[in-house]
Amino acid sequence: METPSERQHASPRGCSPGHQHDCRYSSLFAHPDHLVHLSACSPGIGKRTWAVCRYLGIMATLSFALFLFLPPYTLAVIADDDLLTLWVFLATAVTTSHLASLLRRAAGQARSRERELRLLYEQAQELAALQERQRLARELHDSVSQALYGMSLGAHTAREALESNDPEQAKISLEYVVNLAEVGLAEMRTLIFELRPESLETEGLVAALMRQVAVLRTRYKLVVKADLATEPDLSLERKQALYRITQESLHNIVKHAHASTINLRLVQQESRVVLEVYDNGRGFDPTGSFSGHLGLQYMRERAAKMGGTLTIESTPGQGTHLRVHIPLAGQRV
């Protein structure tokens, strides 16, 4: 019986014992995976890259084999053409081995870049979350905390008025406290809504805009005329874009326009939704440059991302008119 050691050193299938050198190449073809190991390829680099690397390994190993393990009959007469052929095989082996090494290096660099991009994406998400928390902290400080502090002062004033038998002053102080409570409640609802963006899908865009209107009326004492039609037939992404544009526009009115009246209009037409915001503030020149103020640019970018348009008409001293057109799904502006 043939021992395992004998089987290991036995001739390849179909080879006679006297032609061992001739059968080296058929044995290499019989075990092509061994050739890939010689080309320093790693099976973990992907199926397509592994296939190319496997092919290069086979070519490189066969070329080395033809150069180093020649059949006996080729050594009888060595002509210049034979040497040239051998050198061509050797050059092919070196080239294919080098290409396989470059391919493996490129695959490693691609994996490294993928890890770096994933890390940068996670860092960007963390930074965005930190900036959002800081913004909400500023909103809480500028709105709710000040309202609570004002309520505390008004309550103390009302108590002192009652102790001094001054009911009129106590009534005025209590009305002031009630007003601040309404302001704080409206702004708190707005902040909670921004913390839960899914509320825009469940409650709708119209309800979200009405919250903004309530804050303008209670906190800033502005006259706001809201002409909001039924809930528009838009995707959640487009509703969010319209909500953010409206929010930025109203913020600019409060901060820069010094207006006393605002008109807010939302209507759905045949193929688009139209949002309009008017104010009777001091206006500005829309063609001018506003270094450091990116609100207008962000609003235009949001509208363009949804396939819509945003136009601003304003004249110094005559207010501002903002108009946004957002197409319905499958439509164009």
Q: What is the pLDDT of residue 40?
A: 43
Amino acid 216 reads L
- For the chain, the domain total comes to 2
Among 14-23, 166-175, 186-195, 323-332, name the one with the lowest average pLDDT: 14-23
Residue 166 lies in a domain: no
Q: What is the pTM of this model?
A: 0.54
Q: Residue 68's pLDDT is what?
A: 55
Give the model's pLDDT for residue 115. 92
Q: What angle do CA 171, 174, 178 make, to 5 degrees?
A: 135
Per-residue pLDDT at 143 exceeds 60: yes
- Region 112-135: mean pLDDT is 86
Lowest-confidence region among 34-48, 129-143, 202-216, 305-319: 34-48
Q: Domain for residue 42, yes or no?
A: yes
Last residue of a domain, one of 81, 98, 118: 118
Q: Is the pLDDT of residue 78 over 70?
A: no
User: Torsion angle, CA of 174/176/181/183, rounded to 10 degrees?
Assistant: 160
Residue 195 lies in a domain: no
Backbone angles phi, psi at 46, to 5 degrees: 110, 150
Note down the domain range covering 287.
Answer: 222-333
List CB contacts of 122: < 8 A, sequence separation 6 or more: none
Answer whether residue 5 is part of any domain: no
Of the listed ranges 66-70, 289-293, 328-332, the one predicted with least confidence: 66-70
Q: Which of 246, 236, 305 is nearest to 274 (CA)?
A: 246
Percent of the chain with pLDDT over 90: 31
How many residues are given for the chain?
Answer: 333
pLDDT confidence tier of residue 172, bands split at 50, 70 and 90 = very high
Whether 63 shows a pLDDT value over 60: the answer reads no
Q: What is the mean pLDDT of residues 98-114?
A: 89
Question: Which of 118, 141, 169 is at the close of a domain?
Answer: 118
Q: What is the mean pLDDT of the chain?
A: 77
318 within a domain of the structure (yes/no): yes
In a domain? residue 246:
yes
Question: What CATH number has the domain bearing residue 281?
Answer: 3.30.565.10
pLDDT tops 70 at residue 246: yes
- Residue 182 domain-assigned? no
Final residue belonging to a domain, choices 78, 99, 118: 118
* pLDDT digit string, tens, across residues 261-315: 999 999 998 889 999 999 999 999 888 776 556 678 889 999 999 999 999 999 9
Question: How confident is the model over 180-199, as pLDDT tens digits?
Answer: 888 888 888 777 777 776 67
Is 173 part of any domain? Answer: no
